[in-house]
Homo-oligomer: A and B are copies of this chain.
Amino acid sequence: MSLIVQKFGGSSVADAASVRRVARRIVETKNAGHDVVVVVSAMGDTTDELIDLANEVSSHPPAREMDMLLTSGERISMSLLAIAINDLGAPAQSFTGSQAGMITDGDHGMASLVEVTPFRIQESIDAGNIAIIAGFQGVNRQTKDITTLGRGGSDTTAVALAAALNADVCEIYSDVDGVFTADPRIAPKAHKLDQISSEEMLEMAANGAKILHLRCVEYARRFGVKLHVRSSFTRAEGTWVIPSPDDTTVSMSTKEIPLEQPLIAGIAHDRNQVKITVVGVPDRPGIASRIFRLLADAKVNVDMIVQNVSVADEPTTDLSVTLPETQGELAVNLLRAAEEKIGYAGLEYDDKVGKLSLVGAGMKSNPGVSFTFFDALAANDINIDMISTSEVRISVITSADRLDDAVRAVHTAFNLDSNQDATVYAGTGR
């Protein structure tokens, strides 16, 4: 008998019929002889509706009260799911994040887990129950106030419980079949991966793949939790996200890691970045660090950085960075305010950029990868603005209107195309 943690997102429990369908699925797992712990998000659009309601009474709702308000969403879905499961004859109990021992700091709206103490969950499953836990929420140990974990919070709840309960697997259910080699809406010949290493998944998530939140993958990697990303609409296997042996000391019990990874895992893309170029920066030591200090102090997440080589007779350089669209205005304002202090000649702002990332743990030992990659882009007349690399990834910035072509070109060049078109792929909720 194994312990399985299953996480269902808001779209899987959007209405009473969906709740009953998910309940049947959970009971099947239980009847197959497993202990089952379920993490559930708020139903469908509930969270957005609650936010709208708050905005109707205030333009600046306090974060503590917003957390109290939003956590009612999971309270509804979890109790309803427990009711539906009981109706199928299997005992189930629902628990809030606080009852499940999800202890956080006091950063309302984006709290971090500081400890996970699921004593009541362990008791409940030991007593033969299916335990249903509200995703996305916890409690501040100092103030006893209710907190929410922010984006990706429900996935993180599931992984954190799986780690604390030493579960055999954490299944992340959504309306997607698994992790694909690229977004099938852009690359119709993308295919589902049977497995991916957590290191590769980390790069995919960090560079635009929406199927799993970066935070959840980081947590799973750190605590050696095996993830199984799968669809709640089919019985088919999805994608296993396997912690690398050197990432963790937790032993793998149900899924063997193959000796050789495939060369390339997949292609991630991101349309939500902007490029800012600071033109004519004095090419002196300390100037670049002054710019990055400015942005770091305001918590701007700078992603890629490129500095042009300055030529001898022109003692200035151009510095380009990419960052999330949502922080673009903030960054520009900060740079404008510091114009005199930095002494640059001008600012260029480009929100028509796209980022493409090729991810694969095998690429670092294969010199042909870079050639194939850049050759595919060149053969399709796709101009490259910026380049950055890591051990398992190459990323480029292109113009936004060529991003889709770039994804397809690279997908084909690395022989990732399958023989049949993929089903359509969508992002998951919180």
Contact = CB atoms under 8 A, between A and B. Distances in A.
A347 interface: no
In this complex, the interface size class of chain A, counting residues with CB under 8 Å from chain B, is 35 or more
Nearest to A75: B72
Interface stretch (A80-88, A165-173, A219-227, A375-383): A80-88
Given A69-B75, A69-B79, 6 more contacts: A19-B57, A57-B84, A61-B83, A62-B82, A66-B83, A68-B82
A83 B99 contact: no
A83 B59 contact: no
A65 B144 CA distance: 23
B16 A56 contact: yes
A353 B62 CA distance: 54
Contact of A76 (B20, B58, B64, B72): B72
B50 A76 contact: yes
A79 B66 contact: yes
Interface string A38-76: 000000000000100110111111101110110111011
A398 interface: no
A166 to B, nearest CB: 23
A80 to B, nearest CB: 6
Nearest to A143: B120
27 contacts: A16-B53, A23-B57, A53-B80, A54-B80, A57-B84, A58-B86, A61-B86, A62-B82, A62-B83, A62-B86, A64-B93, A65-B93, A65-B94, A66-B79, A68-B75, A68-B78, A68-B82, A68-B94, A69-B75, A69-B76, A69-B79, A69-B83, A72-B73, A72-B75, A72-B79, A99-B144, A120-B144
Contacts of A82: 62, 65, 68
Say whether chain A's binding surface is mostly helix, strand, loop, or mixed.
Answer: helix
A19 B69 CA distance: 14
Nearest to A82: B65
A71 B62 contact: no
Interface of A: 16, 19-20, 23, 50, 53-54, 56-62, 64-66, 68-69, 71-73, 75-76, 78-80, 82-84, 86-87, 92-94, 99, 120, 144
Contacts of A120: 144
A73 B75 CA distance: 10
Contacts of A53: 16, 76, 80
B16 A57 contact: yes
Given A75-B71, A76-B72, A144-B120, A87 B66 contact: no
Contacts of A50: 76
A424 B136 CA distance: 46
Nearest to A71: B75
A119 to B, nearest CB: 11
Contacts of A60: 87
Contacts of A92: 65
Nearest to A50: B76
A106 B82 CA distance: 19
Contacts of A57: 16, 19-20, 23, 80, 83-84, 87
A162 to B, nearest CB: 23
A63 B75 CA distance: 15
Contacts of A86: 58, 61-62, 65
Contacts of A58: 83-84, 86-87
Contacts of A66: 79, 83
B75 A59 contact: no
Contacts of A56: 16
Contacts of A75: 68-69, 71-72, 75
Contacts of A83: 54, 57-58, 61-62, 65-66, 69
A73 B72 CA distance: 8
